[in-house]
Amino acid sequence: MYLSKYFLPILKENPSEAQIASHRLMLRSGMIKQSSAGIYSWLPLGLKVLKKIENIIIEEQIAAGHIPILMPTIQPAELWKESKRLDDYGKEMLRFEDRHGRLMLYGPTNEELVTDIFRSYITSYKDLPKTLFHIQWKFRDEVRPRFGVMRGREFFMKDGYSFDVDKRSAIHAYNRHMISYLRTYERLGLKAIPMKADTGPIGGDYSHEFLVLANTGESQVFYDKEISNLSLGEQKIDYENYSNLESIVHKFTTPYARTDETHDIDLFEKIPEARRVEGRGIEVGQIFYFGTKYSESMGAKIDLANGKRIPIEMGSHGIGVSRLVGALIEANHDEQGIIWPASVSPFDAVIINLKQNDHLCNEISIKIYNMLKANGFDVLYDDRLDSVGAKFSSMDLIGIPKQIIVGPRGVSEGLLEIKFRNNGQRINIPLSNNLIELINELKK
């Protein structure tokens, strides 16, 4: 993409409404534009990141055996009457009437809708287990939206719903979600810690929130340092294997890790002092096994082999996709701007032409651009006529991990320069005919 042909409305000054880094940087780098309180348009750069995160989530959910669907944003209120949540939800739920006077709502979540789908078709234990998920816009009419996309009213969320014949199978679904989420966060370049969450009236041990450590986070967190050293790494996961998943989940849920909601000071103080960590975190996901809460009230039942009819065991599992964009920036930025992890960066690399009037620099920049595109890289070419400083600053701001710098000085010596956004290091690369050295460096 030639920058001169793109739509990248960068702001030089800080918008007055943005208080925290991610919000400020998303506005400045032209990723989003506020439409009204807590509601945003996603501009090209922001949309690219949002879609990259979404794709990683989809890949990992499919790898875990879960099935994508898409449910509507607008739901009929009748379903919520059935589950008895219509009144419980209060003013957070945006309600309105259609032209026939039927009460509708903009969905804040989809348990009712998905349970309705399931009960319409599934009647036998032979059809279970199944997990359906979708990634869709949701709306919660927060009294006080803030922090940009981290606490908007409209938000993009992955929510998955598991349907199982019994508790053992439902817990396996829970474990699949735990592990597929851990893998997702790792691929996003984030350290997210599963923390024991409040299960409310249902009780039990089967709810975890995933928190990204950041001092702007809204939750107070307490954990054993050991848990932050755990990672799935490259290990292959067999999502069908009950005991294998169980042992991984056991490993990740044994060390103490809780938010202030479930914090137990006595347990916390049993951890050796050197390993106790207190901090703040941003919640980027939650998994929850809740048994027959909705299947019971909404009549989603199956026949067993022995002819008995029982309500389906369910769980719901969510990842805040749009919120993750903010969380990623909170975790990856410096004074100059955003520093994208390669997996979610809106572009793989940017070519900065330092002398836009120079024939040689132009020729070489264009050649690199075409060559990289042909090799499958998504490259931004900063071909603006702006001064060098303006180019460097704005490219640092938008945070592309690798900057390929083409300037008269290097070109005259037959060299290109790559600057790495994360550590500021620069290396020289010979300017060869096939650019193989450059391509290899970008593949790293």
Partner RNA sequence: CGGGCUAUAGCGCAGUCUGGUAGCGCGUUCGUCUGGGGGACGAGAGGUCGUGAGUUCAAAUCUCGCUAGCCCGACCA
Cβ(318)–Cβ(285) below 8 Å:
yes
Q: Which of 283, 313, 382, 383 binds RNA (CB under 7 A)?
A: 283
Q: Which of 155, 289, 340, 347 binds RNA (CB under 7 A)?
A: 155
Q: Which of 8, 24, 34, 402 binds RNA (CB under 7 A)?
A: 34
Nearer to RNA, 75 or 322 (CB): 322
Beta strands in 243-304 (DSSP E): 257-259, 276-291, 301-303
Q: Which residue matches tokens 């719901």?
A: 316
As measured in angstroms, the least distance from the Cβ of 239 to RNA is: 24
Q: Which of 51, 95, 130, 146 binds RNA (CB under 7 A)?
A: 146
| 397 is a site residue for RNA (CB under 7 A) | yes
| 153 is a site residue for RNA (CB under 7 A) | yes
As measured in angstroms, the least distance from the Cβ of 59 to RNA is: 21
As measured in angstroms, the least distance from the Cβ of 196 to RNA is: 14
Beta strands in 17-168 (DSSP E): 32-36, 39-42, 67-68, 74-76, 94-97, 103-106, 130-139, 154-164
**Cα 110 to chain center, whole Å?**
19
Site for RNA in 40-59 (CB under 7 A): none
| 143 is a site residue for RNA (CB under 7 A) | yes
| Parallel/antiparallel/unpaired status of strands 349-353 and 402-406 | parallel
| 171 is a site residue for RNA (CB under 7 A) | no
**Cα 342 to chain center, whole Å?**
14
Site for RNA in 327-346 (CB under 7 A): 336
| 122 is a site residue for RNA (CB under 7 A) | no
What is the three-class DSSP state of 256? coil
Judged by CB under 7 A, which stretch of 59-67, 117-125, 139-147, 340-348 contacts RNA? 139-147
| 312 is a site residue for RNA (CB under 7 A) | no
User: Of 439, 415, 440, 414, which is closest to residue 428 (Cα–Cα)?
Assistant: 415
Element (H, E) at 318: strand 313-320
Cβ(310)–Cβ(170) below 8 Å:
no
Cβ(438)–Cβ(429) below 8 Å:
yes
Question: CB count, 10 Å around CB of 415?
Answer: 16
Q: Which of 59, 141, 386, 437 binds RNA (CB under 7 A)?
A: 386
| 385 is a site residue for RNA (CB under 7 A) | yes
Please tell me the distance from the alpha carbon of residue 328 to that of residue 349, in angstroms, as a whole number.
19
Site for RNA in 207-226 (CB under 7 A): 209, 218-219
| 66 is a site residue for RNA (CB under 7 A) | no
Judged by CB under 7 A, which stretch of 32-40, 129-137, 164-172, 248-256 contacts RNA? 32-40
As measured in angstroms, the least distance from the Cβ of 148 to RNA is: 8
| 147 is a site residue for RNA (CB under 7 A) | yes
First-last CA distance in the chain: 22
| 433 is a site residue for RNA (CB under 7 A) | no
Q: Which string of DSSP letters, residue by residue, matches 151-205?
A: B-SEEEEEEEEEEESSHHHHHHHHHHHHHHHHHHHHHTT--EEEEE---GGG-SS
Judged by CB under 7 A, which stretch of 48-56, 176-184, 188-196, 355-363 contacts RNA? 355-363
Please tell me the distance from the alpha carbon of residue 246 to that of residue 99, in angstroms, as a whole number.
51
- The tokens describing 253, both together, are 């849920």
User: Dmax of the chain from CA atoms?
Assistant: 82
As measured in angstroms, the least distance from the Cβ of 412 to RNA is: 9
Nearer to RNA, 119 or 196 (CB): 196
Nearer to RNA, 99 or 144 (CB): 144
| 390 is a site residue for RNA (CB under 7 A) | yes
Which residues form the interface with RNA (CB under 7 A)? 10-17, 19, 34, 36-38, 140, 142-147, 150-153, 155, 157, 209, 218-219, 283, 286, 318, 320, 322-323, 336, 354-357, 385-390, 392-394, 396-397, 405, 407-411, 417, 419, 426
